[in-house]
Amino acid sequence: MRDSKVARAYEALVAEGAIIDDAAQRKAVAALDTFGARLAHALAAKSRLRQMLRLPPRKGMGEGVYLTGRVGRGKTMLMDLFFKTVETAKKRRVHHGEFMEEIHGRIHALRAGKHGADAISTVAEGIAEEARLLCLDEFQVNDITDAMLLGRLFKAVMQRGTFVVFSTNTEPDKLYEDGLNRQLFLPFIAFIKQRFTIIELSGGTDYRLRRIAGGEAYITPLGERADQHIERLWQKLTDGEPGRESELMVNGRVLRVPRAAHGAARFQFAELCEEALGTADYLALARLFDTLFVENVPLLNGKRRDARRRMITLIDTLYDGQIRLAMSAAAAPEALASGESDFERTASRLRHMQSVEYWQREGVSS
């Protein structure tokens, strides 16, 4: 009989009314059940001879699932649901960022102890020993160090029989896109495509976004109430994650993003429009994020000409890219730069950008 633990867990949530039955998620659930059955088989595999000799079971090559899709589609939820159904004490579920920090730490400690080039395989051995199932949430490749490390690490971990699940926003072919020396990373992409079951959550619903009503995203006047409102909106859109600082390279310069999580980035107005930023920076943000938070936008008429110009460019760029904008401002769009004719189009766009239709549209970036 086919085991369908994940399907049963999913159905229970639907029956409780905790989640909405989603066809794309159902498909992913079925694939996870197949994967789960193979893992269960691998966990149970013990040869009689090895048992008699009290040797640990010989482990075959581990398998993988690559769970991908745009933000809010339910990747993490399904991964966690799957994780719960797996019956072994040797399982581990960890955020990619935290995992990589640990890996760097372990490698560093070994190198200090003169293990040299073998450090990665020694670390992989340890990881595989501790977990037959390793679930990594928000898998991504940030920099050249990780790009060069990940392939060797995961190949070695899986060769030791560990099964791996990645949840990620990035499809395999786009991993480490535009990265330095990317050709050295391509074998890992080939490995993923060959060894992993790629499950795409392609449903049209961003379940986080569903929690936002239209007109909620522009708050005025400034003050504590506005700050709290923006904070609540941020929490809804990121499931309570404070967000991590990150850096983008734009034309050879670093653009600092103070807080980023789940496709959203959060800035103070001053950080975006009172610094020497321009179209290239705003385009980079529009390419990378679905939603931008801009807090504490002051009145922009009169002397604030440079900041106003930048704000105009910013809004044009976001609007063209259909990026969502959440904003706290000193006044309503029309009153933000009254008397300044260059701001009229921006004010009208800011209005449109608050509509339910604009907020709930199908996302364009991934």
Ligand X SMILES: Nc1ncnc2c1ncn2[C@@H]1O[C@H](COP(=O)(O)OP(=O)(O)OP(=O)(O)O)[C@@H](O)[C@H]1O
CB of 198 to ligand X, least distance (A): 15
Distances (CA, A) of 295 to 206, 220, 301, 336: 24, 10, 18, 14
Cβ distance to ligand X smaller for residue 58 or 210: 210
CB of 18 to ligand X, least distance (A): 7
Binding residues for ligand X, rule: CB under 6 A, are 19-20, 22, 25, 69, 71-77, 138, 167, 169, 207-208, 239, 262-263
Backbone angles phi, psi at 193, to 5 degrees: -65, -30
Cβ distance to ligand X smaller for residue 79 or 294: 79
CB of 138 to ligand X, least distance (A): 6
Give the span between the Cα atoms of 137 and 119, in whole angstroms. 24
346 binds, among Mg ion, ligand X, none (CB under 5 to 8 A by kind): none
Cβ distance to ligand X smaller for residue 10 or 218: 10
Q: What count of other Cβ atoms lies within 10 Å of the Cβ of residue 202?
A: 13
Question: Is the backbone of residue 169 left (phi > 0), alpha (psi -120 to 50) or beta?
Answer: alpha
CB of 138 to Mg ion, least distance (A): 6
Cβ distance to Mg ion smaller for residue 140 or 360: 140
Cβ distance to ligand X smaller for residue 281 or 290: 290
Cβ distance to ligand X smaller for residue 21 or 306: 21
**In 3D, which of 357, 354, 282 has the Cα closest to residue 320?**
282
Give the span between the Cα atoms of 265 and 15, in whole angstroms. 35
Residue of minimal Cβ distance to Mg ion: 76
Cβ distance to ligand X smaller for residue 81 or 156: 81
Q: What are the structure tokens assigned to 287, written together?
A: 């390419």
Give the span between the Cα atoms of 222 and 296, in whole angstroms. 6
64 binds, among ligand X, Mg ion, none (CB under 5 to 8 A by kind): none
333 binds, among Mg ion, ligand X, none (CB under 5 to 8 A by kind): none
Give the span between the Cα atoms of 100 and 154, in whole angstroms. 12
Bridge partners of 91, per DSSP, are: 133
Binding residues for Mg ion, rule: CB under 5 A, are 75-76
Q: What are the structure tokens assigned to 139, written together?
A: 């898998």
Cβ distance to ligand X smaller for residue 155 or 262: 262
Q: What residues contact 19, with CB distance under 8 A and at least 6 apart?
A: 10, 13, 74, 77
20 binds, among Mg ion, ligand X, none (CB under 5 to 8 A by kind): ligand X
CB of 346 to ligand X, least distance (A): 29
266 binds, among Mg ion, ligand X, none (CB under 5 to 8 A by kind): none
The per-residue DSSP string of 328-344 comes to EESS-GGGTTTT-GGGH
CB of 77 to ligand X, least distance (A): 3
155 binds, among Mg ion, ligand X, none (CB under 5 to 8 A by kind): none
Residue of minimal Cβ distance to ligand X: 207
Bridge partners of 64, per DSSP, are: 164, 196
Please name the helix (run of DSSP H) or strand (run of DSSP E) that holds residue 259, with its range, or none: strand 253-261
CB of 286 to Mg ion, least distance (A): 22
Pairing of strands 244-250, 253-261: antiparallel
CB of 145 to Mg ion, least distance (A): 24
